[in-house]
Amino acid sequence: MKVRITFKTPDVVQEGFDDALKESLKETPGLSADEREGLEGLRASEIGPKVAKWFRYGEYVDVEVDTEADTCVVVPPR
């Protein structure tokens, strides 16, 4: 059986995105706080559209669970 579930959590999407950007720069030595903030903004503009393709209106995500195949996948928005 396939079950489709929609999640609406706008804050979680942005927080996850922000956390990933901060984590990716955490290991870069020698950056000032201003440089780090600037790089976060640059990466956000590059990565944002790639992440956004999975969400409707920046906050809804649909997943489909297949109980027979024992899988769970993100369903791209229409």
Query: Where do the structural domains in the chain lie, given as residue ranges?
Result: 2-75
- pLDDT at position 9, please? 83
The DSSP-derived string for the chain is -EEEEEEE-HHHHHHHHHHHHHHHHHT-TT--HHHHHHHHHHHHHHHHHHHHTTSBTTTEEEEEEETTTTEEEEEPP-
pLDDT tens figures, 10-58 = 788 888 888 988 888 887 888 888 898 888 888 888 888 888 899 998 8
pLDDT at 68 over 90: yes
